[in-house]
């Protein structure tokens, strides 16, 4: 089974991609193609935390070693689009090669004949959406493949005083806006912004939003589907400064080490 997940971002209220086929490449050569029964339109922003959408469910696949997944996108105009959170304007979402060769996810994984395999593809939209001009948005997907059998989750809350600019480190005084958690591989990492133009930049493994939960009155975050291991997490309330192709000052706070265990949720 293959499913999708993602984390919310501030700039958009919807990011819809319409998928038509999944392709798997065996390490020793050859592709297995799985056309979807019908085009599947998925709003990636609805898939935050542990929420997922199935692309393949209980499909029989040859056992063996694989090294690439491709997600083919519907070529019909305007079936993939972005709706901005401010103003509600909708624009086509352009995906270079997404229609012809698919959204590519490279990385080795093994499918065994002795058990079912449940894999999750994590879209990191904060890294993936690039604005190139007025009304022009590219999806240059940054994807992460996780074997669910080896993954765990992080959940927690942030004090409102850290988000309302009381300390003078936020973009505005509204505690709901421009908040994000950045997750880095390894302990004691000095956090940095996303900068895809720099080979020396320390990139986060993933990012996720800090969201207000009206039921509890708290500001909560959830970083899901992390391979078991040690991580550094850091918070910012200046995520609107993030430009994935530039060096930005996000002013991180509450930097801490976290260990993720298999099939376990770490509450912070």
Sign of CA dihedral 49, 51, 55, 57: positive
> Rounded mean pLDDT of 94-119?
85
| pLDDT of 189 over the 80 cut | yes
Q: How confident is the model at residue 32 (pLDDT cuts 50, 70, 90)?
A: very high
| pLDDT of 134 over the 70 cut | no
Pair of tokens at residue 145: 């493949």
Q: How confident is the model at residue 98 (pLDDT cuts 50, 70, 90)?
A: low
Please write down the HEC assignment for all residues of the chain: CEEEEECCCCCEEEEEEEEEEEEEEECCCCEEEEEEEEEEEEEHHHCCCCCCEEEECCCCCCCEEEEEEEEEECCCCCCCEEEECCCCCEEEEECCCCCCCCEEEEEEEEECCCCCCCEEEEECHHHHEEEEECCEEEECCCEEEEEHHHEEEEEEEECHHHCCCCCCCCCCCCCCCCCEEEEEECCCCCCCCCECCCCCCCCCCEEEEEEEECCCCEEEEEEEEEECEEEEEEEECCHHHCCCECCCCCCCEEEEEEEECCCCEEEC
Go through the chain and tell me how many residues it has. 268
Sign of CA dihedral 52, 53, 57, 59: negative
Please write down the HEC assignment for all residues of 227-256: ECEEEEEEEECCHHHCCCECCCCCCCEEEE
With a CB cutoff of 8 Å and minimum separation 6, the contacts of 198 are 247
**Which range, 105-109, 157-161, 196-200, is most confident?**
157-161
Note the pLDDT of residue 3. 95
Q: How confident is the model at residue 16 (pLDDT cuts 50, 70, 90)?
A: very high
Q: How confident is the model at residue 40 (pLDDT cuts 50, 70, 90)?
A: very high
Sign of CA dihedral 4, 8, 157, 192: positive
Q: For the ranges 1-10, 93-102, 118-127, which has the lowest average pLDDT?
A: 93-102
Q: How confident is the model at residue 188 (pLDDT cuts 50, 70, 90)?
A: very high
Pairing of strands 119-123, 265-267: unpaired
| Residue 235 CA, distance from chain mean position | 16
| pLDDT of 67 over the 90 cut | yes
* Torsions phi, psi for 148 (to 5 deg): -60, -25
Note the pLDDT of residue 7. 80
| Residue 177 CA, distance from chain mean position | 19
Pairing of strands 253-260, 229-236: antiparallel
Q: How confident is the model at residue 87 (pLDDT cuts 50, 70, 90)?
A: confident
| pLDDT of 45 over the 70 cut | yes
Note the pLDDT of residue 99. 63
| pLDDT of 89 over the 70 cut | yes
Considering the entire predicted model, what is its pTM?
Answer: 0.88
What is the side-by-side strand order in the sheet with 2-6?
A: 53-56, 2-6, 119-123, 143-147
| pLDDT of 8 over the 80 cut | no
């Amino acid at each position: 089974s293959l499913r999708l997940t993602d984390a919310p971002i501030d700039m958009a209220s919807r990011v819809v991609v319409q998928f038509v086929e999944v392709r798997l490449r065996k390490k020793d050569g050859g592709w297995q193609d799985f056309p979807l029964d019908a085009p599947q339109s998925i709003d990636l922003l609805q898939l935050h935390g542990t929420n997922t959408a199935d692309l393949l469910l209980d499909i029989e696949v040859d056992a063996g070693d694989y090294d690439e997944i491709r997600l083919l996108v519907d070529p019909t105009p305007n079936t993939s689009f972005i709706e901005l959170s401010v103003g509600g304007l909708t624009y086509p979402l352009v995906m270079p090669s997404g229609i012809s060769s698919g959204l590519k996810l490279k990385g080795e994984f093994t499918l065994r004949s002795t058990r079912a395999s449940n894999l999750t593809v994590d879209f990191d939209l904060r890294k993936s959406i690039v604005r190139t001009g007025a009304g022009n948005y590219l999806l240059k997907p940054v994807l992460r493949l996780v074997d669910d059998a080896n993954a765990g989750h992080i959940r927690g809350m942030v004090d409102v005083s850290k988000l309302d600019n009381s300390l003078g480190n936020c973009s505005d005084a509204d505690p709901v806006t421009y908040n994000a958690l950045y997750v880095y591989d390894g302990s004691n990492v000095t956090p940095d912004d996303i900068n895809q133009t720099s080979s020396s930049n320390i990139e986060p493994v993933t990012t996720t939003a800090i969201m207000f939960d009206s039921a509890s009155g708290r500001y909560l975050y959830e970083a899901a589907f992390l391979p078991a291991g040690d991580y550094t997490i850091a918070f910012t309330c200046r995520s609107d400064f993030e430009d994935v192709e530039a060096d930005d000052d996000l002013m991180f706070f509450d930097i801490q080490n976290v260990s993720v265990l298999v099939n376990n949720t770490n509450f912070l």
